[in-house]
Chains A and B, each alone.
Chain A
């Protein structure tokens, strides 16, 4: 159960938060962290475009065409199937995800992208499980102590003492 460090990347690929919780990884210079954030952002975007989206879509259209061809024969209700297929077809709830994890002998990097485009990168022990629980809590703390803070400017580096405090406190409580 070791979480080495956390990185938060904003929508534009800029590094807005970097913090080490437990020693175990070598430190990078600030500049390298910025490069890492930018590079990861780019790679993530490319891997997202690689993700195939079509099969699900064609399957749903082929599935709906027979039904829609049968329904017009019955008089009165030709309209309902068309909006239904238009809704299920591009599923807005599940966007194409890019790179989700990278693994080496010594650590695993897990990426979580929020619906608004902010990315959370966790460096953990490769043997560690339940990373999504940690990720969820980090996201929760971020939306509480960063987004509800009137002194935080969107897309700018996160300097919220309450966020640091609660994050450290929660991670300490888990180990």
Chain B
């Protein structure tokens, strides 16, 4: 009951000056609630904002694919304004995804921890420690390939590979056969290099940076006969990450 009191106390500070002159009766509380709605802070009729809800409430909730498609189309159109080229456009999409990745990481940890503790309570015997943040590259990539992809797209990614070339040991590839963001997008021929999944690449980059792995992530088209929209996310880790990886390997930390 503390919550409604707080909400109704807020406008009384700002609005009482004008209310005092007119208000002599006791019919005012509903009008004050109306006032909150007018001050720009949107409060639903049941006065529960999204901050009052439990984080796991929307865990299994589904979103409309069509509204996401329209929203993403608008984001692409927005990013397209005043760009100098395809690379610039991809960079902008990447930047739109990056903060999302940083924030998603916390939600992902929160959910995996809360679900694993509840499952360990039920199974009890194994005494599974809550998952730590990944320290090595491989656990990080598995986190992206599995849980992150499931959180975002409700399925794991299709493949995870390490670069075979000895020159680029810092390159890893995550493959998605049919990225959700590209479902309804057909890129014109003159921009054939463009892949709008650069937005997802930005999310991955945010997740990597949030874990303390400096990386650059780019999205590339790699169509096959079966999967015309196949996309490869190329993850390039920085020098410092590779050095630390060697140290950790010698120390035997997984």
* Residues on A facing B (Cβ under 8 Å): 144-145, 148-151, 159-163, 165
Contact A145 B184 (CB under 8 A): yes
What DSSP secondary structure best describes chain B's contact surface? helix
Distance from B89 Cβ to chain A, minimum over Cβ atoms (Å): 11
19 A-B residue pairs with Cβ-Cβ distance under 8 Å, sorted by A, are: A144-B184, A145-B184, A145-B186, A148-B69, A148-B70, A148-B185, A149-B73, A150-B76, A150-B77, A151-B76, A151-B185, A151-B187, A159-B188, A160-B186, A161-B186, A162-B184, A162-B185, A162-B186, A165-B228
Interface assignment of B1: CB less than 8 Å from any CB of chain A:
no
Interface assignment of B66: CB less than 8 Å from any CB of chain A:
yes
Interface string of B61-88 (1 = CB under 8 A from A): 0000010011011101100100000000
Could you count the A-B residue pairs with CB atoms below 8 Å apart for me: how many are there? 38
Distance between Cα atoms of A162 and B80 in the complex (Å): 20
Select from chain B the residue with minimum beta-carbon distance to A144: B184
* Residues on B facing A (Cβ under 8 Å): 66, 69-70, 72-74, 76-77, 80, 184-189, 191, 196, 228
Q: Please, which residues of chain A bring their CB within 8 A of the CB of B184?
A: 144-145, 148-149, 162
Q: Please, which residues of chain A bring their CB within 8 A of the CB of B196?
A: 150
Distance between Cα atoms of A140 and B245 in the complex (Å): 51
Distance between Cα atoms of A165 and B74 in the complex (Å): 23
Q: Please, which residues of chain B bring their CB within 8 A of the CB of A162?
A: 184-186
Q: Please, which residues of chain B bring their CB within 8 A of the CB of A148?
A: 66, 69-70, 73, 184-185
Select from chain A the residue with minimum beta-carbon distance to B80: A150
Q: Please, which residues of chain B bring their CB within 8 A of the CB of A163?
A: 186
Distance from B96 Cβ to chain A, minimum over Cβ atoms (Å): 13
Distance from B182 Cβ to chain A, minimum over Cβ atoms (Å): 9
Interchain CB contact (< 8 A) of B185 among A149, A159, A165: A149
Select from chain A the residue with minimum beta-carbon distance to B185: A149
Select from chain A the residue with minimum beta-carbon distance to B194: A151
Distance between Cα atoms of A150 and B228 in the complex (Å): 18
Distance between Cα atoms of A31 and B134 in the complex (Å): 63
Select from chain B the residue with minimum beta-carbon distance to A164: B186
Distance between Cα atoms of A149 and B74 in the complex (Å): 9
Distance between Cα atoms of A144 and B70 in the complex (Å): 10
Distance from A168 Cβ to chain B, minimum over Cβ atoms (Å): 12
Select from chain B the residue with minimum beta-carbon distance to A159: B188
Q: Please, which residues of chain A bring their CB within 8 A of the CB of B69?
A: 148
Distance between Cα atoms of A144 and B186 in the complex (Å): 11
Q: Please, which residues of chain B bring their CB within 8 A of the CB of A161?
A: 186-187
Distance from B242 Cβ to chain A, minimum over Cβ atoms (Å): 37
Distance from B122 Cβ to chain A, minimum over Cβ atoms (Å): 43
Distance from B81 Cβ to chain A, minimum over Cβ atoms (Å): 12
Distance between Cα atoms of A151 and B76 in the complex (Å): 9
Contact A150 B74 (CB under 8 A): yes
Distance from B198 Cβ to chain A, minimum over Cβ atoms (Å): 13
Contact A151 B186 (CB under 8 A): yes
Q: Please, which residues of chain A bring their CB within 8 A of the CB of B188?
A: 151, 159
Select from chain B the residue with minimum beta-carbon distance to A165: B228
Distance from B230 Cβ to chain A, minimum over Cβ atoms (Å): 14
Select from chain A the residue with minimum beta-carbon distance to B79: A150
Q: Please, which residues of chain B bring their CB within 8 A of the CB of A149?
A: 73, 184-186
Q: Please, which residues of chain A bring their CB within 8 A of the CB of B66?
A: 148
Distance between Cα atoms of A62 and B101 in the complex (Å): 65
